[in-house]
Structure 1
Amino acid sequence: MRGDFCHTGQGDRPVSHRKLTPGKLVIASHNQGKVREIRELLGPYGIEPVSAAELDLPEPDETGTTFAANAELKARAAADLSGLPALADDSGLCVEALGGEPGIFSARWGGPEKDFGLAMRLVNDNLAKVGPEASRDAHFVCALSLCWPDGHIETFEGRVDGTLVWPPRGDKGHGYDPMFVPGEGKLTFAEMDDATKNTISHRADAFRKLVAALL
């Protein structure tokens, strides 16, 4: 899948996209890096983002088996509790030589403290165990789900392909950004400024689809 994904949560019935009107929108995340990126992406559209942390909303257990399922359960929980439309993100790094891991467990590879320094070391260590010829190809996936308080939900998925480097480079971004070089470039996501990353990232890819359908 290259990100050409939209799901409305309505089975196989054709459903018209519901437009999102200007006003308050909950960003259903406690990850400040993600919240910052999504705020910047929403900036031009008259949306007033408020984070789940600002509203003191709990983080639901991520029990889904796909990025889309986890994004949807987080969006539904935030919309139910806040009475506002809620946008949730579920994203992660998929390493081809590791069979797609860490995938939906990307944050959990960092342990209870979500230490991504630890998570990146585990990825690199596991690649070393595969052997010196192991592919360094990887991709990020992002699922964005927008849920309204009445339960209507739409989900869009994006992807960016790249390669992994070691040691990590850069102090921008978040998560696995310091070890991921997108496309044929030379800079890691953590070496890029936000404006550049937000035009080529997996989150930007999903967001473009959301904007085209809903804004």
Structure 2
Amino acid sequence: MSSTPPPTTLLPPAPGPGPFRTADRLWLAVRLMAGALVPLWALTFLVTEGSEHVEQCAHGMIGPGGHHRVERTSVPYNATCVYPDGTELPALGALEWLWWAFLVALAVLVLVAYTLEFALTGRPESRRRFLVLTVVTGTLFLGLWLLATQGPASCPPGLEGPVVAREESLFPPQRACVHASGTVRELVPDWLSRLTVILLVATALSAAGAVRAHLATPRK
């Protein structure tokens, strides 16, 4: 009596590079680039403080000389000498362009990763990832919005004459001083105001992605 051999089970081929692996690699690249912002910011700090840029402006070693004001920014760390004729001399020089080019590249990478992850919401990793993104972007938005709206209550003296009016906007966050010469001087950096809008949109998209991933995940 002959026995029938059991059917041979063919193992599926190992998954090759596909959209799931591409999404994971994109998010890995996002984390690496975001981590690189820390040493890049430290470099802007060292260049600004080590160049003695403010002292050179004060002694007329650079620029047109004479009366001027110094505008400082934290992101990137920079000091810019601003003169009455409109001349602006930043301490970073070309490094400032490198900083913003790096941020643009990071933003494009995040956008591509968002789009691909949103299309792959059928896997559990998407739900977890979008929940984390919602918390992170929402926290950043709230922190930066509070930073922008809780700034100095008075307009600092400038080269444009006395202040005759003050304008405020809660969203996008902005505070501006209107001088007698007609010049409007914004107290909230333009990048900070735009970043709050971007983070609010990112929070809404992340929350939508988390809901979509939850509905699309197969139930056991």
TM-score tier after normalising by the smaller chain length: under 0.3
More strand by share: 1
Query: TM-score scaled to structure 2, two decimals?
Result: 0.23
More helix by share: 2
Q: Which has the higher contact order (CA 8 A, sep 6+)?
A: 1
